[in-house]
Amino acid sequence: MAFNPNAYQTLYGFDTLDMAHNFLPEMLYDEQLFPQVPLMWIRHRLRTLFPTVFVRQQNLYTMYQSTERRTAFNRWYNTIETPVAVRAPTVVPHIAVPTVTTSMSTPIRAPHGLASPPPRQNRRQRSDPMAELTNIGLTSLLLGEFINNTPTTNFMFDIGRDIPVLPSADQIAAGSSSVTVAEVPADTACAVCQERGEDAEQWHKLYCGHFFHSRCILQWFHRDVHCPVCRADIREAVAPAPAPSPAS
């Protein structure tokens, strides 16, 4: 995709963040494509420092760019060679000085300037995963060295990763209703895109009482089951009871 200088956005007011937003949005916003811990911390800090801007841009990226970006990434990644696993640093073997024994079985010390041989270590000692992760370095993580291909980091980053749970169409229909813009309070903006939108915009009202653009909230439910405002679970909506039949 060619660079369009007219489409360059300055949302954060800092050159580094604005460059990342324009050129590497997947690294800045995509928690599935780049789940590395340092990038998770960066997202947490941006969500704290720029809550409105960051949350809105991450939502827009997830709804409108994530599929295309992930497809392009996978297409590129399949064309490169498999990255070589990070190896432990080479250790120069210690040169042992032979010990000469006298007739009295008294060992003679090594000459001055030569070190005594170190104690024998267990050759089958298991490596420390945290030490391997430290050897990889923060720079490799931030530059996208894709260290998830190593067994150690696969194990490290897969622990605690959530399995996506999405609501069904019936659950969404039971927990929300389509409304017109006239039914939406005048001071209400969609919490997903942070905008009011056009007068002809179609809206949805969730069972918890919050309003959203229909296109925004339906896209949102492709990745989450909770209301973006109060975190109410759309699956827990209680279907309205049928109206009682008139007494005969």
pLDDT score, position 147: 43
Indicate whether 207 pLDDT > 90: yes
pLDDT score, position 65: 87
Give Cα separations from 167 to 73, 99, 198, 217, 230 (angstroms).
28, 74, 28, 12, 17
Indicate whether 72 pLDDT > 70: yes
Predicted TM-score (pTM) of this structure? 0.40
- pLDDT: which is higher, 144 or 44: 44
Every domain range in the chain assigned CATH 3.30.40.10: 169-236
pLDDT score, position 139: 43
Q: Could you read off the pLDDT of 83-104 as tens digits, one per residue?
A: 555 455 555 455 554 554 444 4
Give Cα separations from 226 to 35, 155, 161, 232 (angstroms).
21, 29, 18, 5
Inter-residue contact 27 to 144 (CB < 8 Å): yes
DSSP assigned state of 23: H
pLDDT score, position 158: 46
Domain 169-236 falls under CATH 3.40.50.150: no
The Cα 10–Cα 8 span in angstroms is 7
Residue length of the chain: 248
Inter-residue contact 38 to 141 (CB < 8 Å): yes
Average pLDDT, the chain: 74
